[in-house]
Amino acid sequence: MGKWLTTIVVDGKSAGTSSGVVKEDLPISNFLSKVIVTFSVSGTSPTVTISKAEIIANGSITLKSLSGAEARILSTYRDGVAPNGSEGSSSVTEILNFGRFNGDTLCILPAKAFKTLVLSLTYTFGGTVTSSSYTVETVEWVADEDVKSKIILKETEIETKASGTGNADVKLPLGNKYRQIWLNGTIANMGQISLRLNNASEIPVTINATTLNYENQRHAQLASALSTDVCIDLDWTETLTDLLDSYQYNDVVVRATRPTNATAVTVYAQEAIPLA
């Protein structure tokens, strides 16, 4: 039987007064469930934006690579409530989750399987910043369990299509199983969202972006709909039984039709990677 452990990795460490990058080593003795980052600034009309949050294993294996805003959307959808603060304000908290839900011990990062695990935060300050601080906390599962029995939920930004009208097609990398596929942009201008397989010989998902937005709200039991993102959720039951196995296809394409009004579209995704 295992137990849960919460740890403060760094507490109120200064990030200086200019935009930049900070990196911190994460614990590698146990199984990692989540990483909680809080960034605060003070001064004259100060703001902080986390433009990229990454978790890199063994120096080159990217497990998470999202903007702070994308990480916030994923956390909000998963937990039904947004983390504290907001991007572009004087204080923001973002959460990088490795579980489908709190207490998930199947989908979890086996940190003990890696030699190094580094959190990298790229941040931008606005206004006049006279002081700053950031705190990194972790939630771990301590258990004598086989690392190969776990599934890693990898989250990365795939591609941004510039603002315009007409089909915005984004090809997804092949090889892993997709659990969630996200599109960011002006939802009312996205038109229809579709998931297209093998040169569109199979189209398992076609839905208006506004309808998908409301379905996401109902499924996550959110007080209000997400304002900028929609999710093709391939694991509504959270059982991992209906994931899209991209290895079985020649191509996997996400399309937003953008019929009349221009919007840029950014696609990011969550993949489920078994270690067995």
pLDDT confidence of residue 125:
98
pLDDT confidence of residue 90:
98
71 closest CA partner among 188, 189, 182:
182
For 250, residues 6+ apart whose C-beta sits below 8 A from its C-beta are: 198, 199
CATH number for the domain whose boundaries are 3-149: 2.70.9.20
DSSP string, 106-130: SB-B-GGG-S-EEEEEEEEEEEEEE
**Average pLDDT along the chain, 276 residues, taken 10 residues at a time:** 96 98 98 98 98 98 98 98 97 98 98 98 98 98 97 98 97 97 98 98 98 98 97 96 97 97 97 92
127 closest CA partner among 90, 94, 92:
90
pLDDT confidence of residue 276:
75
Looking at domain 156-274, its CATH architecture is Sandwich (2.60)
C-beta atoms surrounding 11 within 10 Å? 11
Domains of the chain by residue range: 3-149, 156-274
Q: Which residue has the tokens 């600034």?
A: 41
pLDDT confidence of residue 61:
97
pLDDT confidence of residue 1:
82
What is the C-alpha to C-alpha distance for residues 37 and 26, in angstroms, rounded to an integer? 12
How many CA atoms, within 13 angstroms, populate the side-chain half-sphere of residue 198?
A: 9
C-alpha angle 163-165-66 in degrees, rounded to nearest 5: 35
- Residue 273 corresponds to which tokens in the numbers above? 């990677």
Q: Which residue has the tokens 């990229």?
A: 52
Give 149's DSSP letter.
Answer: G
* pTM (predicted TM-score): 0.96
